[in-house]
Amino acid sequence: MKKVLGNIAFSLLSLLLFNSQVLAQDGMVLVSGSGDSNANIIFQNTGGTTYYSTFDCDGNVVSASTYRIQKSGTSWELLNTSDVIIYTADFDLAKPPSTGWTVTTNGTGPAPVLSGDVIHLPQAANVTFSGTLALSQTLTGSYDYSQADNNPESGSTYQWYRADDSAGTDQTTIAGATDTSYIPTLIDTGKYLAFEVIPKDGFATGNVALSDWQGPLMQMEVSISAKSDVNCHGESDGSISLSISNGTAPYAINWGSGSGSNTNINNLTTGNYTITVTDKNGQSAQVSTIINEPSPLNAGSIQ
């Protein structure tokens, strides 16, 4: 019994050592975590197009393939037993990437993760941005960079986007917004913003990472903070005071009867007033009100 157990233990150890050696050799990868079956795959760094997934006890490639990986143009492809492409990765290097695989219409999610003789892509996690969501206020993007082989970050690129809502509807690239910081302009008013990172380490390019959408960007608001009607019929002693929020001074205020920068106006006669306020950034808002007056006195009623 001891001899049998010893042989079993030796066989298991040999198998583990063999798999470790094979996985360590050039061109060997392990496909795992996918919606399809897992597999060990040998690929050839010779520029050829046939890469087999089965091998004999000496690690030699066997011609009857059960799972296949191949480089096609600037992409890598994983094929199933029917030789149909089920996963792809846009990756133009001599070895396949560890992550970044996309499920095709013939594949089953989730996409796999490869280990072994692969290239580990740089990663960007916890992508977000901070700052006041208002015109002329600086927003700053941030993220956590990592790479499995501890390659330092080099050449990462950035992009800011605007959209109509928190779901990213009608997402639009903001021209020139390619830094970690961004100052919103008038066209961003009422929109949602997002910050994108494409991590790089000087050797490979990682997957696109986009922050959550934040917004909407605050719009300038104008309201009547105080109003005084005319005291006597025919007089001109009415007044209006404005309250302005989310704008940037100085303000140009058109009262309808004149213009200025003061948020208060006096000596008004009765009537309808529509006030237009334009801030430093060209953002405009309107508010309307009515200055009333009492009815004229009837001289015949005076005793």
Query: Whose structure tokens read 């040999």?
Result: 14
Query: Whose structure tokens read 């050797």?
Result: 203
Tell me which residue of 100, 34, 45, 89 sits closest to 67, measured CA to CA: 34
Q: How far is CA 135 from the centre of its chain?
A: 20
What is each CA distance from 233 to 23, 44, 228, 239, in whole angstroms?
Answer: 97, 97, 14, 15
pLDDT in tens, 132-179: 998 888 999 999 999 999 999 999 999 999 999 999 999 999 999 999
* Fold equal for 123-210 and 221-295: yes
Tell me which residue of 131, 188, 127 sits closest to 156, measured CA to CA: 127
Tell me which residue of 69, 108, 74 sits closest to 90, measured CA to CA: 74
Give the SS3 label for residue 15.
helix
Give the C-alpha separation, 123 to 149, whole Å: 11
Close Cβ partners of 118 (under 8 Å, ≥ 6 residues apart): 29, 95, 96, 97, 98
Q: Which amino acid is at 263?
A: T
Is a pLDDT exceeding 60 seen at residue 191? yes
Q: How far is CA 208 from the centre of its chain?
A: 8
Continuous H helices in the chain: 2-24
- For 123-210, the fitting CATH number among 2.30.40.10, 2.60.40.2700, 3.40.190.10, 3.30.1330.20 is 2.60.40.2700
**What is the average pLDDT value for the chain, to the nearest integer?**
83
Tell me which residue of 129, 111, 94 sits closest to 207, measured CA to CA: 111
Question: To the nearest whole percent, how much of the chain has pLDDT over 70?
Answer: 81
What is each CA distance from 12 to 7, 9, 17, in whole angstroms?
Answer: 9, 5, 9
User: Element (H or E) spanning 89, and its range?
Assistant: strand 85-90
Pair of tokens at residue 287: 């508010």
Close Cβ partners of 24 (under 8 Å, ≥ 6 residues apart): 116
Q: Which residues pair with 90 in a beta bridge?
A: 75
Is a pLDDT exceeding 50 seen at residue 14? no
Specify the range with the lowest mean pLDDT, choosing from 11-20, 49-58, 64-73: 11-20
Is a pLDDT exceeding 60 seen at residue 63? no
User: Does the pTM exceed 0.75?
Assistant: no
Q: What is the pLDDT of residue 69?
A: 84
Q: Hey, what CATH class is 221-295 in?
A: mainly beta
Q: Which residues pair with 18 in a beta bridge?
A: none
The domain ranges of the chain are 2-116, 123-210, 221-295
Which has more pLDDT, 248 or 42? 248
Task: Kindly state the average pLDDT of the residues 28-35.
Answer: 82
Pair of tokens at residue 15: 């198998």
Pair of tokens at residue 179: 């830094």
pLDDT in tens, 242-256: 999 888 889 999 998
Give the E-state strand segments of 121-232 in sequence order.
123-130, 139-146, 157-163, 172-173, 181-182, 192-198, 209-210, 221-228
Question: To the nearest whole percent, how much of the chain has pLDDT over 90?
Answer: 56
Q: Which residues pair with 173 in a beta bridge?
A: 161
